[in-house]
Amino acid sequence: MRLYLVRHLAPQVAPGVCYGRTDLAVDPGLQALALPALRQRLPAGAPMFSSPLRRCAGLAQALGGAAVRYDPRLAELDFGDWEMRRWDDIERAAIDAWVADMAGYRPGGGESVTDMARRVSAFYADCMRSHTSAAIVICHAGAIRLLLARARGLAPEAMALEAAQRPHAIAYGETVTIDCV
């Protein structure tokens, strides 16, 4: 199966703000400009899955209409009470604790990267059982990084460690294609 992983477009949020599960919108004009190029990169008629968060769901709706399947396992990491706070305003000791245990720590009392890896891994397993040749997944950079690790055969704990240790380099609106076996 070939997975087309599409990161949502830039959400409407101030720079330097921590957001994960917060349901943020995307500028409709920006989305309209991005749609033609995205449509050219994606296979017509492939099943489409999306995070239910607006920044993904709106893009999926514009690309796939009523055929989109929204899956909460594709949502971004829940940063708990860090959500919508400036990174500079989060206590240094809390950030240091997260850095010391990137896979297991629950930032802001939310969920750990390992928790997220477990739900993303379950989504991946369901996709692999579907026996379709391709699928489109509209989601977040965190979910994409975890799906890439899962496609390499890693278990959730190893997925979390790899995703947490690799620098984030997935642009808004970028499509990452992986062949899964």
Chain segment 10-20, per-residue pLDDT in tens: 999 999 999 99
Q: Are 159 and 142 in contact (CB under 8 A)?
A: no
Tokens of 64: 């796939």
Helix axes 54-64, 28-41, angle to 10 degrees: 50
- The tokens 């984030």 sit on which residue? 168
CA–CA separation, 106 vs 30, rounded Å? 33
pLDDT tens sequence across 96-126:
999 999 999 999 999 999 999 999 999 999 9
Q: How confident is the model at residue 166 (pLDDT cuts 50, 70, 90)?
A: confident
CA distance 158 to 68: 30
- pTM of this prediction? 0.95
Q: Encoding tokens for residue 40?
A: 């050219």
Q: What is the pLDDT of residue 95?
A: 96
